[in-house]
Chain A
Amino acid sequence: MEYFATLGANIALGLGQALSLTNLFYCFFGVLMGTFLGLIPGIGTLVAISLLFPITFHLDPLPALIMLAGIFYGSTYGGSTASILLNLPGTPANAVACLDGYPMSKQGRAGVALLMTTVASFVGATVGILLIMLFAPVIVSYALRFGPQEYFALMVLGLLGASAISEGSPVKGIAMVVFGIILGLVGMDVSTGVQRFGFGLRELFDGISLVALAMGLFGVAEVISRIRTASDRPVDPESVTFRSMVPTRDDVSRSWGPFTRGASVGSFFGTLPGTGGVIAAFMAYAIEKKLAREPSRFGKGAVEGVVAPETANNAADQTAFIPTLTLGVPGSPAMAIILTILIIHGLSPGPRFVTNQPDLFWGLIMSFWIGNIMLVILNIPLIGLWVRVISMPYNLMYPAILVFICVGVYSVSGLVTDIWFVAAFGALGYSLRLFGYSPAPMILGFVLGPMMEEYFRRALLISHGNLLTFFERPISATFMAISALLLTWSLWSSLRGIATKAPAV
């Protein structure tokens, strides 16, 4: 009973924070920007967060967190609109929604699809938020017993998970992670005070700028790839009226199952570090198709085919905050950037964050409710606006993206060298794509690298140089065991993928 009393008090505390005018404004701005940027194919969640990250430098921690979080979960709301209307996902997590969403719009049922995905997203988000509220304090109490071994092992697990699901072979994903960690080590080594890999450049004293890295690797590289391909495909979405959004009774009755199953799948994958909305959406769709009485309906406009993945990815978006906030281990590159805000403001993420800054933690959680309600309003009545946005040609958009990247990066540090870095990382990011590597795991490695080294060092210091310490403690041993399984799977599937392709000439 005392648990609920505490929960009630925390909710009140959180609402008090979240309902302030400033926080409401930034919540709205965040979800609005998230929807807008998520809508545009070619700007994913990560680019959206990177683009607006510079703004957060000048804000207090709570509005900054609220805003970026709003962009994060808002982007998948908007992304589904592009999937349905254009057959082009707005964000990777919305890719699955194209499979049945686009056929629905071809059948004149775009309105219904859009409404159902918004409802699905809200349901998924609600479940996710409830899970955070109920379980975060429990997880925190366990996590307070974590030692450096557990943190290190968990980070290894998260990184291997992220590389396993990234595009391209898992081994390449792991290589990207390691590359990212090395880049993350550039700059001052906190424990020893030594400047590493700086080559004497004053600008590298604090390390490579995360903003420059993310914007270059993702934003610039994406623009380069898209300029010509986007112009080949003129945009002409089916028009959507408000009335056309009303679903049939059949649609609604078919959706209950997908809501439940999607929310469960999504919450599970969201909580695991390394996996998130993309995997959740795919799994939810696969499960739905497997369990359906008429699987042949899928791919031709089955409402379950849009509802399940969209519920899943929004549930995953919310529960992704659980490991990030309670353990301080971000599960995805976007979360890593959000976590960086805490670090910049001098707040160290982890279980102590929840207990020492309850106003920030609960304020953020309550803002999730507010944000999702705002998103429902934005996505249903205002759908006409977004249809018009989607029709905007890419050749107007990409210079705007580049301008925002350059001015944004410059505004953070005031150093022109950061812009050089954006160019360099843009070239790197583009080359990586050409050779079949995905840059996403690199960012995760970059953010986690210094922390991993810290925990590794400390673990070995405490255990007097005993490398087996990671395996002797039960929790960390579990993480390491799962990591080992993931690693084996990654190597095996990479080599097997090659074996099946080898004979082809």
Chain B
Amino acid sequence: MPGEGKKDVISGGFLVLLGIVVALYAYESYNIGTIRQMGPGMFPLMLGCVLSGLGLLILVPGLVRMAGPLSIRVEVAPFLAVMASILAFALMAERFGIVLSIVALTALSSLADPAFKTKRVVLLAASLSIMSVFVFTILLNLRLPLFNWPF
């Protein structure tokens, strides 16, 4: 597959960096101790090194297969819609309660749906709110903020 090598170089490189960062951070911040009496930093240090090593094992063979264009099929619209919907929920959950948050979540995530129909989304949001309230608050007896209005 063309361009596979490029992908591996990128991801392998990322892992190498991550491993180095973890190892260095552990070395600087925590007591390493001895092999006999391991401090909190020893295991992370070792793991960071192992991760970097693995990253190299992924990166280096990738350099051999660099031929071809870098092709990654990113589903941009679904990604943005789903992320936006979850972030909206996170921002709204405490200030507005979960009912409104669910509506926002449903509405925003539905934006990625190629067959978007407003009426259906509204119905879906409504039924999901009712179901969630039923399951989590009534059935499971949890106390979640249902509905606030901060203004």
Contacts and interface: CB of A to CB of B under 8 A. Distances in A.
Contacts of A194: 30-31, 40
A189 interface: yes
Contacts of B81: 227
Interface string B77-119: 1110111011101100110001001100110011011110000
Contacts of B50: 178
A384 B85 CA distance: 34
A459 B64 CA distance: 41
B75 interface: yes
A178 B2 CA distance: 28
Contact of B128 (A224, A399, A410, A423): A399
Interface in A122-137: none
Given A196-B44, A437-B11, A457-B38, A407 B114 contact: no
Contact of A407 (B87, B98, B112, B113): B98
A65 interface: no
Given A398-B109, A461-B36, A227 B64 contact: no
A331 B47 CA distance: 21
Interface in A163-219: 169, 171-172, 174-175, 178-179, 181-182, 185, 189, 191-192, 194, 196-197
A426 B86 contact: yes
Interface residues of B, number: 74
A55 B67 CA distance: 50
A279 B124 CA distance: 38
Interface residues of A, number: 66
A196 B125 CA distance: 40
Nearest to B11: A435
Contacts of B51: 175, 178-179, 182
Nearest to B35: A465
Determine chain B's interface SS by DSSP, over half rule. helix
A465 B40 contact: no
Contacts of B64: 498, 502
Contact of A228 (B72, B114, B141, B142): B114
Contacts of B55: 175
Contact of B65 (A192, A414, A453, A502): A502
Nearest to B133: A407
A403 B7 contact: no
A398 B106 CA distance: 9
A227 B106 CA distance: 14
Given A185-B43, A225-B75, A423 B86 contact: yes
Interface in A396-417: 396, 398-400, 402-404, 406-407, 410-411, 414, 416
29 contacts: A58-B141, A178-B47, A178-B50, A182-B22, A194-B31, A196-B26, A196-B44, A231-B113, A399-B109, A402-B82, A402-B86, A402-B105, A402-B106, A406-B101, A411-B136, A423-B86, A423-B87, A423-B90, A426-B82, A430-B79, A434-B73, A434-B74, A437-B11, A461-B36, A465-B35, A467-B35, A495-B61, A498-B64, A501-B1
Interface of A: 55, 58, 169, 171-172, 174-175, 178-179, 181-182, 185, 189, 191-192, 194, 196-197, 220, 223-225, 227-228, 231, 395-396, 398-400, 402-404, 406-407, 410-411, 414, 416, 419-420, 422-423, 426-427, 430, 434-437, 453, 456-457, 460-461, 464-465, 467, 491, 494-495, 498, 501-502, 504-505
